[in-house]
Structure 1
Amino acid sequence: MSRRRSLAAFAVTALLFGGTFVAAKAGLEQLPPLLFLALRFDLGAAVLAGYAAVRLSRSELRPETVGDVIGILATGGLVVGLTNALLFLGQQTTTSGVAAIVFSLNPILTVAIAAWVLPNGRPTFLGVVGTLLGLAGIVVVAGPEAALTGDAGGVLLLAAGAVSIAVGTVLLRWAEPTLSSTARTVWGVPLAALLSHAASVAAGESVAAATFGPTALLAVAYVGVGSGAVAYLAYFALIDGVGPQRANLVFYVVPLVSTVGGWALLGESVGTTTLVGFGVVAAGFSIVLADDLGADGLRRLVGRGSGGTENAPDADPPRAD
C-alpha cells in the first residue's frame, strides 16, 4: 500500500469510526445494545456480500491456511464482534468523553502487545513520546473530570473493548493470513452478526423493547453501512499495509471526529479546552508520523522528493513493524 493510499484509508477509517460514537449514542436511546449491534452487523454483512459477489472470486474468498482461519476468527470474533459489544454496553453508563479516553488507550496497548508478539515490534523513543502526547490530548479534549464521572462497570467494559481490538489486530499480523483484508472482512462481519444475535438472546433482549423510529433506523444504517462495512474494509487494509501499531493510531483521531460530530449534529458545545486538546493530539500524531517516515519519507509524501521521486511515495521499502 502506498503512503498516500495509507493516508486515504486512515482518513476514511477515522471519519467513519468517529461517527460511530454519535450514531451509537442516538441509537441506544431506542434500541437494546446487543440487538442494535446485531442489526448493524446484519446490514453490514449484506452490503459486504453484495460487494464480494461483484468484486471477489471464490478462490479469493476460500480460506486455505491455518493463518486464514485465525485471521477470520480474530476479525469477526475480536476486532469487530467483541470490541463493539463491549463498546455498546459500556457506552450505556458512561459519557462519550470517558469512552474516548478509554478507547484511546488502544494504540498504547497495541504497541505493548506487539512488542511481545511481533518481531521488530519494539517502539522507538519518539514513537512512545508521540503516542503518550496524543493520549494526553484526548484527556484534554474529553476533560480531566470525565474520568471521574463514568460508571466504574462501564469504564471496565470499555477498557476490555480496547484490549480486545489491540489483541485482535496484533493477532492478525502474527497469523500472516493469505486471505486479503477484504476477504477477511467479508467473512468476519457475518461472524460478528451471529455472535451478536446469540449474545442478545442470551442477555434476554427483546425486539418488542425496541423503538424503530427514524433516529434508530438512521443510526442502524450508518453504523451498518458506513462504520460497519466501508470503514472495516479501509481499516483492515490499513493494518495489512502499515501494521497494527501505526494503523491503531487512528483511534487518536476518532474522538476528535466524534466531538465535531456531536457539536454539528447533537448540539454539543466545543470549548477552548477542546481546541487545545486537538492541538496536543495533532502534535503527538505529527511526532509519530515524522518518526515513522523520516525526513526523506516526509518529502516524498508532499511530493518534494529529489531525483525524480516526487510521484513515488513507495520508493523505499516499508519499515518493518
Structure 2
Amino acid sequence: MAAAPSFLHVFSHLFLLYISWGSSYVAIKWCLATLGPFLLAGCRMMLAGGLLSLILLAAGRWKRPSRGDCLHAVWLGVFMVLMGCGFLAKGQQLGVSACAAALITGSTPVSMLLAGWLFAGERRPRPMQWLGLVGSSVGLVMLEMGQEAARLESGLISAPGEGGLPLGGMCWVLLATWGWVAGSLLSRRFPHASLLSGLQSCALLLLAGGAECVLLGLLWGEASLTHWELLNVRSSIAFLWMSIGGGIIAYYCYFWLLERVSIAIAVSYEYVVPVVGVLLGWQLAGEPVNAMMAGACALIVLSVFFIMWHKHVKA
C-alpha cells in the first residue's frame, strides 16, 4: 500500500492547480490583442496536448489510441475545449473582464446541479443546495451592478448604463460553463472504456478540441484578427503559461490529487479558482474591484460550497 502523501506535496500540487487555472483569465485578456479567441484557445490547447504527448512518449507511457479513443476525444472536445475554452475567450473578447469571467465560470457547479436534476435523472436538489442556487443567482446580479459601479468610480465610463457586463459576452461565458457541464454529464452517461491512461486521454482531448477551435476560428475569419506586431513579452509569456500551466501542470496536479487525496480536497479548486481569478485581474490587469464585487465573489463561492458540500461529505 502506497504511503500517504506529505502535507507539503499536497499543498504544492493544490497551489499549482489554483494558480494555473486561476491565472488563465488574465492571460486570455493579454493574448486577445494578438490572436482571435478561437485561434487563441485552439493554439494553446494543441500546444499543451502536443507537449503532453511528447512527455508521455519519452517516458514510455504512450499507447497507440484506438479509433474509439479518437472519436471519444473528438466529440468530447466540442463541449470541454471548443465550448469550455473557446467560448470563454470569445466572451472576454466581447468585454467581459477577467474578474467577471472568473466568477461566472466559478458558478459551474450550479449549472451542473440543475442539469443533473433536469436532464440526467439525478435527485432533486436539497434545501441547502436550493439556498446555494438562489445565492449564486443573487451574486451574479451583484457582480453586474458592482462592475458598473467600479468602472464609474474609476472613470472608465462617464454615465450609468455604459459599464455593466456586456450581455453578449456574458452569454458566451455562460455557454462555456454549460459546455463543460454538458461534456461532464455526457461522458458520465456514455462512459468510454479505454486502455489509455488518464493523462494520455487528456492529451488526445486537448489535441482534438484544440484542432476544432482552430478550424472554427479560421472559418469565422479570425485570421484577420491576428496582429503579430502587437506580440510582446507579456503576451508571449501569458500564452506559454496558459499552455503549460493551464494545460499540462494543472491537469497533472488534478489527476495526482484525485489518486491520493479525498474528493473534497481535489475539487476544492471550485471554490478557490474564482477568487484567484478576481485577485489576479485586480492586481495584474488593473481591473477595478469594489466592495459590491467582493461581496458577490464571497456570495458565489459560499453558494458553490453549499451546493457541493453534501457530495463532498458523502464522498
Same fold flag (TM > 0.5) = yes
Map of 1:215 onto structure 2: 234
Indicate whether 1:227 and 2:246 are aligned.
Answer: yes
1:195 aligns with 2:199: no
Deviations 1:196-247 (A, max 9, x none): 2212221223375333221221121111111122223445777899999998
Equivalent AA in structure 2 for residue 124 of structure 1? R
Matches within 5 A, 1:1-321: 12-55=16-59, 57-59=61-63, 62-63=65-66, 68=69, 71-96=72-97, 97-116=99-118, 118=120, 120=122, 122-130=124-132, 132-134=134-136, 136-137=138-139, 140=142, 143-144=145-146, 146=148, 149-179=164-194, 180-206=197-223, 209-210=227-228, 211-235=230-254, 250-288=269-307, 290-294=309-313, 319=315
Output the CA distance in 1 between the equivalents of 2:262 and 2:187.
9
Aligned counterpart, 2:152: none
Q: 1:87 to 1:247 in 2, by over 3 A?
A: farther
Say which SS state the counterpart of residue 127 (structure 1) adopts.
helix
2 CA distance for matches of 1:151 and 1:281? 20
| CA distance 1:102–1:55, change in 2 (3 Å) | same
**79-88 or 230-239: bigger deviation:** 230-239
Determine if contact 1:93/1:154 at 8 Å carries over to the other structure: yes
Deviations 1:48-94 (A, max 9, x none): 112321446344x6348x6x566523542211222211111111112
Letter in 1 for 2:244: V
Matches of 1:236 and 1:80, distance apart in 2:
18
Change in Cα spacing, 1:270 to 1:286, as seen in structure 2 (3 Å) is: same
Instruction: State the one-letter code of the partner of 1:87.
Output: L
Cα 1:106–1:69 shift into 2, 3 Å: same
The letter of the residue matching 1:47 is: L
- Counterpart residue type for residue 231 of structure 1: A
Whether the 8 Å contact between 1:75 and 1:184 is mirrored in structure 2 is no
Instruction: Report the residue type matching 2:84 in the other structure.
Output: T
Shift in Å, 1:185: 0.6
In structure 2, the residue corresponding to 1:266 is in which secondary structure?
coil
Letter of the 2:204 counterpart: W
> Contact 2:109–2:308 at 8 Å: present in 1 too?
no
Structure having greater relative contact order (Cα 8 Å, sep ≥ 6) = 2
In structure 2, runs of 5+ residues without a counterpart are: 149-160
Q: How far did 1:37 drift? A: 1.9
CA contact (8 A) 1:115 1:121 kept: yes
Is this contact kept in 2: 1:110–1:244, CA < 8 A? no
In the alignment, the residues of structure 1 paired with residue 303 and residue 137 of structure 2 have an alpha-carbon distance, to the nearest angstrom, of 8
Structure 1 unaligned regions, length at least 5: 295-317
Instruction: Quote the offset at 1:282 in angstroms.
Output: 5.0
User: C-alpha separation between the residues in 1 aligned to 2:39 and 2:122?
Assistant: 41
Contact 2:139-2:296 within 8 A present in 1 as well: yes
Farther-moved stretch of structure 1 (248-257 vs 84-93) = 248-257
In structure 1, distance between residues paired with 2:95 and 2:85: 15
| CA distance in 2 between partners of 1:281 and 1:235 (Å) | 22
The count of corresponding residues between Structure 1 and Structure 2 is 292
